[in-house]
Amino acid sequence: MPSKILLIIGDAAEALDTLYPFFRVKEAGYECVVAGPEARVYHMVMHEIPPGWDITRERPSYHMAAHIAFADVKPEEYLGLFITGGRAPEYLRYNEHLMAITRSFFAAGKPVASVCHGVEIIAAADVIRGKRVATVPKCAMDVTFSGGTFVNEGCVRDGNLVSGRTWHDNHLFMREFMKMLAEAEAKQS
């Protein structure tokens, strides 16, 4: 039975932040279990900063079904956690079940990946104090207010956390996340 990776989504999750890791972990032979506030279909979005703009433009994108609700997740059943970006983390960080899930992964030292606005979840869970964390620069304040150190790089690993700025960095931080998962799986054997 393949090891399971938990992928966090909600409405307005960024499509490339979500789909790249979804298929990458499956490609490596892991089972990717998608979790949201409820087990239902969520609406993803595309984010880009058009030339001449100072802020992100958002457009509707693909849909993805969550297999399981946060309330039903048993963190001990999963090898790793991926927290996607987009606007979803703005409201997901208020979900007490997601906060407990996130804290559990950090307490157990299991691999966690966060991209872009996913930092809002790990910051709200109070698990990044003293850690170096990458995120999109407009979320740097979330890192510093939560006791972390913002790093403007495409891949930052600090302990069991690997983070990236945006989907443009998928190839950087996902490579490291896959190494972390392989290391964690080898320890289980």
So which residues are the catalytic ones? 117
Q: CB 35: neighbour CB atoms within 10 A?
A: 24
Q: Where are the alpha helices (DSSP H) in the chain?
A: 15-27, 88-92, 96-108, 119-124, 140-145, 170-188
Query: For 57, how many CA atoms within 13 A lie in the half-sphere containing its CB?
Result: 7
With beta carbons less than 8 A apart as the criterion, state whether 146 and 129 touch: yes
Give φ, ψ of 39 to 5 degrees: -85, 95
H helices, E strands: number in the chain: 6, 11
